[in-house]
Amino acid sequence: MSLLHGIIPPVPTILTSDFRFDRTGQARLLDRLIASGVNGVLMLGSGGEFCHLSAEMRCEVTEFAISHVAGRVPVLVGIGAPGTLETIDLGRCAQKAGATAVLVVNPYYVHLSERNLRLHYEQVARALDLPVMIYNFPALTGQDMSAETVTALTRACENIVGMKDTVPEIAHTRQILLEVRQARPDFMVFPGFDEQILTGLALGVDGAIPAISNFAPQIVCGLYAAWQAGDFPKAIAMHRAIAALAPIYDIETPFFAVIKEAIRLTGLDISTAVMPPARPLSPEARAQVAQLLKAAHLL
């Protein structure tokens, strides 16, 4: 079994109405996810609003989450930032707090040469004494992590151990699996899009990091469990249920408040506040979320 495997929700960061970290709400969400059978949690991924939080708040969230989880499941922490030194500082915070591993999205805003992109990851990995996972999200960073680049990084740094591949083309993930694992057979791969879980498992991924698992863990964890048990008809049924929920991401951009509203509607008392420039949902958007959940028999 790999260091990380199965269903790992990208957990929303719960905030108060005045934009402070809501520890009570965060604890409620973490406890429900763990009780639902998830295999780990990702703090401060894209769905955790890391890009809108200060470094101080990110460290606060990291320290609280790891302390509250208390070893019940692995905790992966997103530490990506536009600058290498800030990324390292966030990584040291996660390391000190006891993170299982860190997730590093490639620097955004400016495009880097291939050499500078590799040096960024190498510098981060060499500064930390814990496993590092690459986060490939070219739609938001503007720069893809190719199989060639990832392979070179795994050869340069032993603690670069895996990748979250958030790309619409499953062929990219397949290429990562085939090429990178020739150099590192233990390299972990997780697709980022919910509809790719079943296809990814058939190709050999280690699990998935889907935001839908925050409010429908029974469906997403059910798919993974069915696949592991060889119950392919059930896995296909769960896959179709996930596909029916996927339009939830189109209700608002960014989708942060949408996921929080879905969590609230499915029975957890949490604040749905989001950090600006993200905004609360309109009444019409909230109605759309409720309608989608009712159609999926989650309400």
140: pLDDT strictly greater than 90: yes
286: pLDDT strictly greater than 90: yes
Global pTM reads 0.97
C-alpha neighbours within 13 Å on the C-beta side of residue 287 = 3
163 phi, psi to nearest 5 deg: -155, 135
4: pLDDT strictly greater than 70: yes
Find, among 230, 282, 231, 233, the residue nearest to 253 by Cα.
Answer: 282
**What span, in angstroms and rounded, lies between the C-alpha atoms of 106 and 188?**
18
Query: Would you kindly state where each structural domain of the chain is located, as residue ranges?
Result: 6-215
**What span, in angstroms and rounded, lies between the C-alpha atoms of 181 and 147?**
10
Mean pLDDT on 89-115: 96
260 is catalytic: no
- Model confidence over 18-34: pLDDT tens digits? 999 999 999 999 999 99
109 is catalytic: yes
Q: Which of 135, 213, 224, 260 is catalytic?
A: 135
**What span, in angstroms and rounded, lies between the C-alpha atoms of 262 and 292?**
9
Q: Which of 17, 96, 108, 109 is catalytic?
A: 109
Question: What is the reported pLDDT for 3?
Answer: 85
Residues in the chain: 299
Mean pLDDT on 212-225: 98
Is the bond into 277 cis (omega within 30 degrees of 0)? yes
Q: Quick one: CATH architecture of 6-215?
A: Alpha-Beta Barrel (3.20)
94: pLDDT strictly greater than 70: yes
Give the model's confidence band at 114: pLDDT under 50 very low, under 70 low, under 90 confident, else very high: very high
164 is catalytic: yes
- Model confidence over 72-82: pLDDT tens digits? 999 999 999 99
Mean pLDDT on 221-230: 98
Question: What is the reported pLDDT for 157?
Answer: 98
Mean pLDDT over each residue of the chain, to the nearest integer: 97
Q: Which of 164, 213, 224, 260 is catalytic?
A: 164
Question: What is the reported pLDDT for 1?
Answer: 58
Q: Which of 46, 213, 224, 260 is catalytic?
A: 46
Question: What is the reported pLDDT for 2?
Answer: 75
- Model confidence over 61-73: pLDDT tens digits? 999 999 999 999 9
Strand partners, 165: 136, 191
- Would you say 76 and 94 are in contact if contact means Cβ atoms under 8 Å apart? no
Mean pLDDT on 186-191: 97
7: pLDDT strictly greater than 80: yes
Mean pLDDT on 261-284: 98
Find, among 133, 248, 113, 260, the residue nearest to 189 by Cα.
Answer: 133
Give the model's confidence band at 267: pLDDT under 50 very low, under 70 low, under 90 confident, else very high: very high
